[in-house]
């Protein structure tokens, strides 16, 4: 049994996550936000303005202008305000689920950024790693993150069923109007190196047609809805800043966690992915396992011989949320051409978000959101990105990697 204490401020609160197999006890702080420092968060805006004014004055040679006072509008731009301003369009129940999800993401962010994460990782490695192929070993922090999100959704009282990468089958909670699918901690194989990771989630309305079926079947039917039925989706990116990118069906919006007061603040309203980018993101050590179409596409864009007459650059973090986040901001294409990523809780939520940012999500042939899922952990090739880049890629025909031998690292 591992017992570690994670406290970020006033009060040390023990929550217990028990996994029968691993018997893990991790006390975590009830609130992940550090105690309010003497600097209120509005001061951060003032400070940001000062820095911008100084940078401008340096480049223009003029004197620094004092920051203008922060307006009430700016003060109100938290996730809570954002959700409450969407009254009418957004059910209260959905807002409640989202608030519980974002709280869970803050807990995960705090855990990942603390020495406790290292303790969890190293102490559980032996018990799990000994029996499973190294690459597919569930990382302890995936399991803890799963427990954090599951507990938050249960507490929301509004979730009927859930599906997670870390659960063998769909889970039935019972009463509740919503269904949540999620990957609690994607990219976790990089975690020991402090490389960014992310949480992916999607929310559906529960389906009345499943009423009366046995619980297992009800849960399964509810989580196997096509992505076109999503009401909301998003990801949390745990990186130099913790970001939450979210859609509730009216655009893609980015929030940054302000650790001085523990709230997500709207920093990237109405994110639009550029129509075309100049960056491709793929594990190109797999080049010789790729089909001819994908090889030709990558060869062409590398050499500036594609539709866009400039040479593309490569960026690959091997952490889906981080690779996608960069793609949404800078444009281009993030892909995994082999059947590796999961339709239900990775491809669908991310495709919905990307479409809300004016981009496209494809399996190389079809729009992801039109695919009818047939099983929970179904995998497929995934291409996400700028609309012109995705259309160009699809025009090369065979871009799906059918050879999928399993790779060591």
Q: Which of 100, 107, 150, 189 lies at the binding interface for ligand FBP (CB under 6 A)?
A: 189
Nearer to ligand FBP, 41 or 383 (CB): 383
Instruction: Look up residue 367 and give its DSSP letter.
Output: B
Q: How far is it, in rounded angstroms, from Cα 198 to Cα 319?
A: 8
DSSP assignment of 198-210 equals EEEEEEEEPPGGG
The correct pick among 118, 318, 330, 367 for binding ligand FBP (CB under 6 A) is 318
CA torsion sign for 74, 79, 84, 87 is: positive
How many residues contact ligand FBP, by CB under 6 A?
12
CA–CA distances in Å: residue 203 to residues 28, 50, 256: 26, 39, 21
Should residue 400 be labelled a site residue for ligand FBP when binding is judged by CB under 6 A? no
Which one, 125 or 221, has the nearer CB to ligand FBP?
125
Q: Which positions from 266 to 295 touch ligand FBP by CB under 6 A, shown as an x/- string? A: -----------------x------------
Q: Which stretch binds ligand FBP (CB under 6 A): 12-20, 47-55, 187-195, 205-213?
A: 187-195
Q: How far apart are CA 303 and CA 313, in angstroms?
A: 10
Per the DSSP assignment, residues forming a β-bridge with 198 are: 186, 237
Alpha helices, H only, 65-211: 72-75, 79-85, 92-112, 115-129, 140-156
Which whole-number Å values give the CA distances from 235 to 23, 225, 316, 405, in the listed order? 29, 19, 18, 29
Q: Find the binding residues for ligand FBP in span 368-387 (CB under 6 A).
A: none
Q: Does 186 bind ligand FBP (CB under 6 A)?
A: yes
In this chain, which stretch among 11-19, 125-133, 182-190, 373-381 interacts with ligand FBP, using CB under 6 A? 182-190
Tokens representing 170? 């769909």
Nearest approach in angstroms of CB 122 to ligand FBP is 19
Secondary structure E strands in 317-372 = 333-342, 360-362
Q: How far is the CB of 312 from ligand FBP (least distance, A)?
A: 18
Q: Which residues are catalytic?
A: 136, 142, 165-166, 183, 185-186, 346
156 binds ligand FBP (CB under 6 A): no
What is the contact surface with ligand FBP in residues (CB under 6 A)? 186-189, 283, 318-320, 336, 338, 340, 407
């Amino acid at each position: 049994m591992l017992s570690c204490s994670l406290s970020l401020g006033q009060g040390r609160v023990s929550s217990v996550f028990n996994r029968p197999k691993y018997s893990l006890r991790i006390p975590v702080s009830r609130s992940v936000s550090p105690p309010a420092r003497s600097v209120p968060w509005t001061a951060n805006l003032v400070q940001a303005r000062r820095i911008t004014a100084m940078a401008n004055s340096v480049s223009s040679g003029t004197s620094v202008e004092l920051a203008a006072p922060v307006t009430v509008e700016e003060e109100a731009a938290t996730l809570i305000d954002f959700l409450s301003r969407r009254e009418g369009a957004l059910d209260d129940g959905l807002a409640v689920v989202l608030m519980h999800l974002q709280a869970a993401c803050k807990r995960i962010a705090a855990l990942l950024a603390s020495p406790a994460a290292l303790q969890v990782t190293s102490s559980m490695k032996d018990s799990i790693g000994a029996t499973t192929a190294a690459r597919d070993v569930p990382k302890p922090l995936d399991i803890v993150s799963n427990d954090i999100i599951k507990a938050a959704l249960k507490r929301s009282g509004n979730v009927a069923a859930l599906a997670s990468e870390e659960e063998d089958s769909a889970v039935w909670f019972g009463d509740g109007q919503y269904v949540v699918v999620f990957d609690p901690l994607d990219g976790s194989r990089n975690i020991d190196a402090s490389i960014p990771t992310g949480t992916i989630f999607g929310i559906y309305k529960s389906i009345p047609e499943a009423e009366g079926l046995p619980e297992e079947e009800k849960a399964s039917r509810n989580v196997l809805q096509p992505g076109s039925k999503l009401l909301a989706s998003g990801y949390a990116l745990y990186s130099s800043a913790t970001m939450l990118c979210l859609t509730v069906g009216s655009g893609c919006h980015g929030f940054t966690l302000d650790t001085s007061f523990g709230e997500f603040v709207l920093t990237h309203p109405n994110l639009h992915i550029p129509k075309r980018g100049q960056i491709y993101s793929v594990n190109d050590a797999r080049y010789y396992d790729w089909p001819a179409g994908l090889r030709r596409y990558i060869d062409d864009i590398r050499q500036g011989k594609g539709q866009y007459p400039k040479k593309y650059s490569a960026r690959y973090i091997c952490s889906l949320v981080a690779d996608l986040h960069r793609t949404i901001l800078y444009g281009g294409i993030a892909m995994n051409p082999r059947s590796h990523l999961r339709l239900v809780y990775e491809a669908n939520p991310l495709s919905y978000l990307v479409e809300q940012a004016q981009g496209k999500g494809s399996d190389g042939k079809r729009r992801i959101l039109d695919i009818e899922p047939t099983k929970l952990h179904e995998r497929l090739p995934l291409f996400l990105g700028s609309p012109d880049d995705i259309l160009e890629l699809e025009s090369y025909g065979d871009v799906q990697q059918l050879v999928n031998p399993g790779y060591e690292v």
